[in-house]
Copies of this chain bind each other. A is one copy, B any other.
Amino acid sequence: METYQQESRLYKALMHPVRLAILDLLREGEACVCHMEALLGFRQAYISQQLMVLREAGLLEMRRERLNIYYRVIRPEIFAVMDAMRKVTGVQPARPTKVNACTCPNCAADSEPRLIRL
């Protein structure tokens, strides 16, 4: 039963809609918190809380670069789990449409036009 305990901890991490959305976001590589904030439309503190849960589950790692902190998935095998679950429900989640603008250096390089900040 100890093995199941270990698995159940991971399922617990996936048990939350916002955390699933975050993981999907990170499929394409690392992202900073402001990016997730912009894409998902939740308050910064809330996103950080969910990131902490995923980190404590051993799924994410963070890296600081100047003011921004970038998160990335350190167990890509988790995506196979998510893909398999998607076959159970049969529904593919829609790509998130950017709710707010993100001002991090990475996003600044993005395609969409934005105001120059001084």
Contact = CB atoms under 8 A, between A and B. Distances in A.
B6 A15 contact: no
Interface residues of A, number: 34
A3 B92 contact: yes
Nearest to A85: B81
Residues of A contacting B: mostly: helix
Contacts of A89: 3, 6-7, 10
A9 to B, nearest CB: 9
Interface stretch (A30-38, A62-70, A72-80, A103-111): A72-80
Contact of A93 (B3, B78, B86, B88): B3
A84 B11 CA distance: 12
A114 interface: no
A86 B81 CA distance: 9
Interface of A: 1, 3-8, 10-12, 14-18, 20-21, 75, 77-78, 80-89, 91-94
Given A8-B20, A11-B20, 8 more contacts: A4-B18, A5-B17, A6-B89, A8-B14, A8-B16, A11-B11, A11-B85, A77-B88
